[in-house]
Every structure is written in structure tokens, then in C-alpha cells.
Amino acid sequence: MMTLKVNGHDHQIDADPDTPLLYVLRDDIKLNAAKFGCGLGQCGACTVIVDGKAVLSCVTPLLLLEGKQVTTLEGLGTLEAPAPIQRAFVEEQAAQCGYCIAGMMMRAQALLQRNSKPTDEQIRAELEPHLCRCGTHMRILRAVHRAIRLMDTADASSASQRSAQ
Amino acid sequence: MQTPFGTIFSTNITPDAETGIGRWPEAAFRRAMRSGVDRAGRHLYPTFPYDHFTNVSDEDDQALYAYLMTRQPVRAPAHANQLPFPLDQRFVIAGWKLLFLRRGTYQPDSTQSAEWNRGAYLVEGLAHCGACHTPRNALGAERPDARFAGGDADNWNAYAINAQSPAPIPWDADALFAYLRDGWQPDHGVARGPMAEVVSNLASVKESDVRAIATYMAGVFGAPTPERRRQAEAVLARVKTPSAHASQTNTAGAAIYTAACATCHETNRPLPYGGVNLGLSTAISSPDPRNAANIVLSGVRPVEGERSPIMPGFASSMNDDQISALLNYLRSRFSNRPAWTGVEKTVADARRTQTVFLQTSPGPRNAPADPTQRDKP
């Protein structure tokens, strides 16, 4: 039995320590945003954020997660109140079949958390480990750029709210 | 380039008149290649490998000069080198040359085949393999008594590529050719780090030249002893039978291997998409754990536009203790060599030195080879 912190909640998990995080997220905690693509860390569909960094959950065993914070797409926002990265992907209609999109969003989110103004080149380099078979790459790139602007306005408006108070 | 003596910056070799070599006559270019002297007569630091380029023929120097002088000129003033006194005084280099520079172009060995001689000419000259693969003495010169016995390149270990090679399976000319041509070979694994860049560059070299390099280097490795051959056969047999003894040892390293590595490295899925069985890995059998640490941290990025190996990096999901535990386990399970010492420090150093690479990616290390060039005459 170990305690796994996911999206701010503690979960008691009864699984072998070498169980991939992806299986625990999907099968035990029923968080299905992270997808099983290749199971080999080669496609990016299973990407989640662990302590601020994008991590491939299919090749990350539970035993590496002691005391760490896992964030999945469900932890960023909800249908009613989507996070900027989610809004941006919807507004750009960046998903076609959608299978890769959760992973793309999580790695983009991790990038924007450590660099709020990445260049187009940096975004492309960052998302390179992710495969998309539908070919919506250009929309995905536009969505990340849109997310940068949305986060920027969100920061500005919350700053002005703070100064108004 | 970082050296044990300080940082030396390469200079502009585009034909820009002010900051490049635009005003250099061909004779000056050849003199730089042969003797390490610039147009104004100043000694050049041997990070520019004229100790190898001195072997290059007149015709090849002429061709290089013609190629460089017809590139687009770029204005780019040289950075000042960061060297302590007295190394910042270029007359010091004259002494170094007196001690270590053996002048003269490559002289063919008439007892060997034309292909072998072509390979020797390339390896000792333009390819300058020894610059990384031969250890250097205290003054930074390649040690003639330890040719190809293993050296350093950008915090990677350039393996011994002579009889002391740590490869579990001895190299031969065919294996070398495949490795240099494709960047991977089923019995040895994948070119990584600076060697990935070398292989990428070799993709545009004529196939016959790569074959010649392989032929010459196979001679440098030498034929394996009967004992070495027996060991290699034992390794191959072990690798081909599915692991019956799948980690019973209940250590952190074993658990990490089972969960994060074995799905690729122990499925007998062929290279380049499957991982090499680590029983075949030179990184694990090498006396120096740096390459294994580097590769676990940063993985192998695929080359754009062609079939190439791929491995995710684990820098974000494993801390130094976990990677050290993993490496110690891999060493004990997959090699019959003594345990590494100082693995924790190696991992910490690797994380520090590779930071730039880990965070920016796809740098020149993963420069895509032009796929239209590969395997064409």
C-alpha cells in the first residue's frame, strides 16, 4: 500500500511497486485523460506532470513517485472552468481524433510553467517526443501560442484585480 | 570547446574577408592544415586537429579550400579564448608542436590493400578518430603508446577501439560498417552523444570510404583471442534465451529496470525500435559509467525523416539516487566486470553537464542526416 498524490488528493494504492503510473491512473483512480499509446515511452500519449516536469507515465513505475505530486489533465481544469491550455486547444480545435492531445497539453503546460514566453522553436523542440497521426500539428502549435496569450491576460487581469482590491 | 586547459572557441571559416578566411590564399589554408599556423603566422591551438590534418593530401586540401571559399560569407568575429597565463601566449604552442606534432602527409603501407590504406588515410587524417578515442597526456597530446585506447568527448567516454575494447561482442569490419552507416548495429547498440553526430556526418560520405574506415579499424581492434570469442558466444547465447532469472533480487535498481527498461530492452524486439539487450551494451561493460548515466538521463531522440533508434530520457522521473541504484544493478546483472565506483558522483555530474542539452534539445547532437543522401552512391 502506498500513498499517491494526484491532482491534490491522496490515494491509497494497492499495487506492486513496479506498476506503471499510467495503469494506476486509469485502472485504479479512473482518471482516463492519459492514454496508453505504445507502452514504451515513444509516443507521448501518456504524459502527465510530476513535480512540475512532463513525465511519460507508461514507463514510470510507482516506486519512483513516493512523496511526489502527480498532475493529470483532469487536475488542470474542468469542463465548466477549463484551464488556459484547455481553452486554447478547444478554441483552436486542435484535436482531431484526440488521442495524443492530453499528452500534448500536459507537456505544453509543463513548458509554460517554467517558461511563460517560449519561442515557436522551443515549443516545437519540446513537443518533439509526441506523435500525432491525424496531422493536426499546426493547430496544436497555434493552440500553444494561444495558451501563452490566455495565460498572459489571465495574469494581467488577476494582477489588476489584486491592485484594485 | 571545453578543454582541461580552458575554453577555446573555433573561428569563422566562411570566406568573409574581415572575420573569416576570405583573404586566405590556398597556400595559407594548406599551411594551417599541415602546421597549425594562421594566415598572419600565429600558432593555432591544437583543438584544431592539425596533428591529424597534417596527413591530408594536397588534392583533398585543395578540394576543401575550394568548397569553403564558395560558401556564403558570414560576418562573425572570433570569441576570445578563455585560457590562463601562460597558455594564452601562443608561442607556447610552438613548444607543443616541437614535442608532439609529427609533420608529413599519410604514407601508404604497400603491404596492405588499397582499401585498408584508404581507411588508414581517412582515420588518421580527416576523420581524426584518435582525437577522441586516444587518451591524451598531461599536455593534451594524444599518447602514441596508447593509440585508440579510449578518451573523452564532451563528458562522454570515447570507448577504447583497439584490443582493449570493452564491447561484449568483438567488432569486425561488417559490424563496424553497419554501425558507422546506420548509427546502430544489433550486436552492439546505438551511436549516442558526440558519436551520433559523427555517424550523422558519415551518412553523406561515400559508402566505399565508410567501408574503408571499417576495414582499417577492424585491423586496429585486431582479431579476438579464442578466450574473448568464447565469452562473446556465451553472451550471445544468454541474450537469445528469454531471461529465466528475471530479477528475483528485490532491490530498487532491479524494480526500476523491470518497470522502466525491460519492456524495450528485454523483448528481443530488433533494433532500431527495440532496445538493445543490455548484455550486449558497451556502456554497461565499459570501465567508465558516464555514458550509461548520460543515456539514462537524456535518452535517444529520433533522427528526423529516417528510421532511427529512440529511447525516452528519465531525467524528469528519476532522481540521482534512483539512477545510481539502477546503474549499479545493470552493471552487476549485465556485465561480468567489477562494480563501478563513484556512480552517484557520475550521475550528479552528468545531470549538471547535460543540463543544457536536456532542456533545449534537438541540438546538433541530433542533427538529422539528409535521408536522401544515405545509401546513395
* CATH code (residue B358): 1.10.760.10
> Residues of A near B (CB-CB distance < 8 A)?
17-20, 39-42, 50, 53-56, 59-61, 63-64, 122, 125-126, 128-129
Q: Dihedral of CA B50/B184/B276/B226: which sign? A: negative
Of B66, B100, B134, the position where a domain reaches its end is B100
Q: Would the pLDDT of A9 be above 90?
A: yes
Residue B162 lies in a domain: yes
Claim to verify: residue B92 and residue B144 sit in the same structural domain: no
∠ at Cα B58 (B57, B62), nearest 5°?
120
Residue ranges of the domains in chain A? Answer: 2-164
Residues of chain B neighbouring A41 (CB-CB closer than 8 A): 264, 311-312
Q: Which residue has the higher pLDDT, B55 or A163?
A: B55
Q: A1: pLDDT confidence band, cut at 50, 70 and 90?
A: confident
B256 at the A interface (CB within 8 A)?
yes
Claim to verify: residue B52 and residue B17 sit in the same structural domain: yes
What does the pLDDT read at residue B358? Answer: 45
Q: What is the mean pLDDT of residues B345-374?
A: 59
Range of the domain at B135: 114-221
Q: How many structural domains compose chain B?
A: 3
pLDDT tens-digit series, residues A107-147? 999 999 999 999 999 999 999 999 999 999 999 999 999 99
Claim to verify: residue B179 and residue B263 sit in the same structural domain: no
Which residue of chain A has the CA closest to B323?
A64
Residue B233 lies in a domain: no
What lies within 8 Å, CB to CB, of B179 at 6+ separation is B185, B188, B191, B199
End-to-end CA distance of chain B: 34
Claim to verify: residue B347 and residue B257 sit in the same structural domain: yes
Claim to verify: residue B87 and residue B130 sit in the same structural domain: no
Please choose, from the candidates A29, A52, A55, A27, the residue with its C-alpha nearest in 3D space to the C-alpha of residue A41: A55
Helix (H) / strand (E) containing B230? helix B226-240
What does the pLDDT read at residue B366? Answer: 42
Q: What is the mean pLDDT of residues B99-104?
A: 91
Min Cα–Cα distance to chain A from B326, Å:
12
Q: Which of B273, B301, B312 sits opposite A56 (nearest CB)?
A: B312
CATH numeric code, A2-164:
3.10.20.30
Please choose, from the candidates A92, A121, A94, A124, the residue with its C-alpha nearest in 3D space to the C-alpha of residue A108: A124
Q: Which of A20, A61, A125 sits opposite B255 (nearest CB)?
A: A61
Q: What is the mean pLDDT of residues A25-47?
A: 96
Min Cα–Cα distance to chain A from B338, Å:
27
Distance, in Å, from the CA atom of B327 to the CA atom of B329, rounded to the nearest integer, reads: 5
Of B221, B240, B271, the position where a domain reaches its end is B221
What does the pLDDT read at residue B242? Answer: 62
What does the pLDDT read at residue B248? Answer: 56
Claim to verify: residue B189 and residue B126 sit in the same structural domain: yes
What lies within 8 Å, CB to CB, of A66 at 6+ separation is A2
Residue B237 lies in a domain: no
Please choose, from the candidates B137, B160, B165, B136, the residue with its C-alpha nearest in 3D space to the C-alpha of residue B148: B160
pTM over 0.80: yes
Min Cα–Cα distance to chain A from B333, Å:
18
